[in-house]
A and B are shown apart, each in its own frame.
Chain A
Amino acid sequence: GENVEQHPSTLSVQEGDSAVIKCTYSDSASNYFPWYKQELGKRPQLIIDIRSNVGEKKDQRIAVTLNKTAKHFSLHITETQPEDSAVYFCAASLGDTGNQFYFGTGTSLTVIP
């Protein structure tokens, strides 16, 4: 199956700074890459996703980039706010019929006021 690696495992930034989380995947057939935010004790929520025919996607302060050749994708959060503090998971999906998501190991982001 797919193997997704995520770095860093923990990240602390000052409020207003940017945060970058990086993921790599192993299966070149993967073509859908969502990012989830999970607050403590809550379910993961999709914050942004990107498909293999797109190199970059942006939604307000959040952006995701994809490099299919290198098999890596990144999440960028600009102008971070304390409410951005959470665990972020990247995922990769083969997206055929099963749409299984294989998750990265997670990044615990802390935004320091």
Chain B
Amino acid sequence: GAVVSQHPSRVICKSGTSVKIECRSLDFQATTMFWYRQFPKKSLMLMATSNEGSKATYEQGVEKDKFLINHASLTLSTLTVTSAHPEDSSFYICSATSGGANTEAFFGQGTRLTVV
């Protein structure tokens, strides 16, 4: 299957700082990327959907000014957690599809964010 690479895999940051997470599709063009948040022993919660070259669509309850998403190219999307706080500590995971309806989504390996 296609490969999606997410970086970094782990990051620890101080409260009040911002953290950027990258999601790259290595061998296909990802017209759509998704960002999820996963709490321990919980399901994946869809945060936002991003299409290349356009603004991300955020799910209800997700603060777009806090979780900045950029999808500047067909192979890269970034999630920036701004002014991070301890409650933002979580596992963030991206997925990407090559486009079209009902196509398989490939997941990155996830980023464990810890805000201290």
Chain A residues near B41 (CB, 8 Å)? 106, 108
What is the CB-to-nearest-CB distance from B102 to chain A, in angstroms, rounded to a whole number?
Answer: 4
Contact: B43 with A1, CB < 8 Å?
no
Contact: A1 with B59, CB < 8 Å?
yes
Interface residues on B, range: 20 to 34
Contact: A32 with B101, CB < 8 Å?
yes
Chain A residues near B46 (CB, 8 Å)? 100-103
What is the CB-to-nearest-CB distance from B32 to chain A, in angstroms, rounded to a whole number?
Answer: 6
Which of the residues A96, A98, A108 comes within 8 Å of B57, measured between beta carbons?
A98
What is the CB-to-nearest-CB distance from A88 to chain B, in angstroms, rounded to a whole number?
Answer: 11
Determine the residue in chain A with the shortest Cβ distance to B93. A43
Which of the residues B36, B45, B104 comes within 8 Å of A46, measured between beta carbons?
B104
**Chain B CB within 8 A of A105 CB:** yes
Chain A residues near B105 (CB, 8 Å)? 34, 46, 99, 101
CB within 8 Å: A-B pair count: 64
- Considering the complex, which residues of chain A in the window 34-61 have a beta carbon less than 8 Å from any beta carbon of chain B? 34, 36, 42-46, 49, 51
Contact: B102 with A103, CB < 8 Å?
no
- In the assembly, what is the distance between CA of A101 and CA of B104, in Å? 10
- Considering the complex, which residues of chain B in the window 87-113 have a beta carbon less than 8 Å from any beta carbon of chain A? 93, 95, 97, 100-105, 107-110
Determine the residue in chain B with the shortest Cβ distance to A41. B110
Contact: A44 with B102, CB < 8 Å?
no
Determine the residue in chain A with the shortest Cβ distance to B104. A46
Determine the residue in chain B with the shortest Cβ distance to A33. B102
- In the assembly, what is the distance between CA of A24 and CA of B30, in Å? 29
Contact: B108 with A101, CB < 8 Å?
no
Supplied contacts A31-B101, A44-B93, 20 more A-B pairs, CB within 8 Å: A6-B43, A31-B102, A32-B102, A34-B104, A36-B107, A43-B110, A93-B102, A95-B102, A96-B101, A98-B51, A98-B57, A99-B97, A99-B100, A101-B46, A101-B95, A102-B46, A103-B36, A105-B42, A105-B43, A106-B41
8 A-B contact pairs sorted by A residue (CB < 8 Å): A1-B60, A93-B102, A99-B101, A100-B34, A101-B105, A103-B43, A103-B45, A105-B43
